[in-house]
Structure 1
Amino acid sequence: MTEAEHIGADAADDGLSRLYRRYAAWLNRRLRARIGSDAAEDVVQETYLRIAPHAADDIRHPKAFLLTVAMNLVRDEHRREVRRSRALERHRPAESENAPQIDQIMLSDVIAAMPQLYRDVFVLSRFSGMTYPEIARTLGISVKTVEWRMSRALEYCASRLDL
């Protein structure tokens, strides 16, 4: 790079720096209202990267120019997200509403393998909706025993389901 080219590049960078210092906070505030603060910061940075090839002195309406570039970036990202989600939907296997879910099958297997003492308390509580005192009366045990067995049943499920 010759010295003249280097000076010209510095002048363009200086103009861009001035533009950034002057309008970055304004652009960030405008974008935050539409897309949130984290995304706004990213879009402001990307906006200045996109306008870097333009000479700052050639921009007649900097706010309008910056906002247009930023909103185009937001729209482009939104379009990419829509395309991405549609592609995921197309490749997702169809599930029948009546087909049992994997989690349900796993839980069913874990409950079936659970020791009978724990399983009785677990099933009465979780699937029959009985309270601990009702379970205690039904099984002829104390409420404290119901609590103890239930805690063991939950530990058993958690250990088998990797929770």
Structure 2
Amino acid sequence: MRLTAAEFEGLPEPRLDDGDPLPPENRAPVRENGLEALYHAHSGRLLRFFSRRAGTTDAPDLVQETFVRMARIEPAACHRIESPGAFLTRIAANLVKDRARLAARRSSSCHVSYDEQVHGQVDPHRLLDDRDALARLEQAVARLNRRTREIFLLHRVEGLTYAEIADEVGMSVKGVKKQMAKALFQLRRDVGPL
């Protein structure tokens, strides 16, 4: 049912009984205890502090931990703190330091010392010689004619048998064997023993 403005103005004002809840503007403000007031006053600042130093993902947890440490202080001691904001900042700075120490301990426990017997056997001259030999082999394979190169790579790189290669390239097994012998002869001549 809709009322017009004139009908609405003619209605008597509603009366509130003692059992009726008060509207929000008439409610008495809730008094915060000291820790809640500190949280509302300083949590944003501490969140920015931790975001710059520890990253945005861990910052809310560190703010929470700061106030947990503050809550552990005896109430009588809390009243003697002259500057609670500065005290919270000190707690926050100590949390960052504790976290850095923990990270350093964890990384040092993951450190593996250099073992001369394990790593000492790698000869850099040998590595260079092997790299040069591989480059010479690649050049020698590139100089083979197309069919011989294809057969050599199918057998030595792909691991196909002579019969599988014969089916793939359309040759007899005997022809594949001749091509492989030709490839090996030319590669040994150009590079050395394989």
TM-score, length-normalised on structure 2? 0.43
- Bigger radius of gyration: 2
Higher fraction of helix = 1
Q: Which has the higher contact order (CA 8 A, sep 6+)?
A: 1
TM-score, length-normalised on structure 1? 0.49
